[in-house]
């Protein structure tokens, strides 16, 4: 059985939603970040990155959200949560997920994890002040082109929707002017109509 490590208020939500939508048999293990459980010797022996999500499979551990999402889609292809039959569309989905991971998530992290980049308190505060603009700019690209509608890939629902939903949940906390993102907010509201999303989100508060 798969083992899935997660923590509330983290990007692990995206892969968690995928596991539930796929109906995959798995054990969910919550880490208490307030008690630094992600830095415990036991967890670091499993995942030296000390982060979530992490998925333990019979062949080893997988980390990084885009990798987990693709792995799950390929392991359970019958669910149709990725365009596995179209190499170009699959690459487009991966490009979207990679943008969320490498650019949008990093912009958000400048508000809550500034110590990853500098030890200078003034620099950390400067990064925090930049986040409403940097996150807003990132999401504007999604709003004005990358989000095709009604779903990220157009008419086809995919794991990219779960990932966008996860990051869109951070916008207000990041000080982003969401009035400029009506399509992103509509997408988020549509996702929240799903009972599966509601059930999993209850674990992330």
Q: Hey, is 184 helix, strand or coil?
A: helix
The answer for residues whose C-beta is within 8 angstroms of residue 24's C-beta and 6 or more apart is 2, 72, 75, 76
Choose the final residue of a domain: 80, 99, 124: 80
Q: Classify residue 110 by its DSSP letter.
A: H
Last residue of a domain, one of 15, 49, 80: 80
Q: What is the mean pLDDT of residues 155-169?
A: 98
Average pLDDT over residues 25-41: 96
Distances (CA, A) of 144 to 53, 138, 139, 140: 29, 10, 8, 6
Residue-averaged pLDDT of the chain = 97
Model confidence at 26, pLDDT cuts 50, 70, 90, reads: very high
- Tell me the C-alpha to C-alpha distance, in Å, between residue 123 and each of 109, 115, 128, 161, 176: 14, 9, 9, 34, 20
User: For the chain, percent helix, then strand, then coil, each to nearest 5?
Assistant: 60, 10, 30
pLDDT in tens, 56-98: 999 999 999 999 999 999 999 999 999 999 999 999 999 999 9
Q: Within this chain, do residues 96 and 113 fall inside the same structural domain, yes or no?
A: yes
Where in the sequence is the domain holding 44, given as residue range(s)?
2-80
| 92 and 188 inside one domain | yes
pLDDT confidence tier of residue 141, bands split at 50, 70 and 90: very high
Tokens in use for 136? Answer: 């807003």
DSSP state of 149: S
Percent of the chain scoring above 90 in pLDDT: 100
The residue out of 28, 59, 80 marking a domain boundary is 80
How many domains in the chain? 2
Does 201 fall in a domain? no
Q: Are residues 186 and 141 in the same domain?
A: yes
Q: If residue 4 lies in a helix (H) or strand (E), which one and from where to where?
A: strand 2-6
Distance CA 69, CA 42 (A): 25
Residues 59 and 127 in one domain: no
pTM assigned to the model: 0.97
Mean of pLDDT values over 29-35: 96
Share of the chain above pLDDT 70, in %: 100
The reported pLDDT for the residue numbered 118 is 97
Q: How many CB atoms lie within 10 A of CB 179?
A: 7
- How do strand 26-30 and strand 2-6 relate by DSSP bridges? parallel
């Amino acid at each position: 059985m798969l083992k899935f490590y997660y923590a509330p208020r983290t990007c692990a939500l995206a892969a968690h939603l995928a596991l539930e939508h796929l109906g995959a048999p798995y054990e969910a293990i919550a880490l208490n970040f307030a008690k630094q459980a992600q830095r415990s010797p036991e967890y670091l022996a499993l995942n030296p990155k000390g982060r979530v999500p992490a998925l333990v499979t019979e062949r080893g551990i997988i980390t990084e959200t885009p990798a987990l999402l693709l792995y799950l889609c390929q392991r359970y292809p019958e669910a149709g949560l990725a365009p596995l039959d179209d190499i170009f569309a699959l690459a487009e989905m991966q490009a979207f997920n990679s943008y969320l991971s490498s650019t949008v998530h990093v912009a958000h992290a400048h508000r809550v994890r500034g110590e990853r980049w500098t030890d200078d308190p003034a620099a950390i505060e400067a990064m925090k002040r930049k986040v409403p603009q940097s996150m807003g700019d990132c999401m504007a690209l999604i709003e004005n082109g990358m989000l095709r509608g009604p779903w990220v890939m157009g008419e086809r629902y995919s794991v990219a929707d779960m990932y966008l939903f996860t990051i869109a949940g951070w916008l207000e906390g990041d000080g982003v002017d969401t009035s400029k993102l009506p399509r992103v907010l509509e997408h988020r509201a549509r996702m929240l109509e799903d009972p599966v999303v509601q059930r999993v989100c209850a674990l992330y508060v």
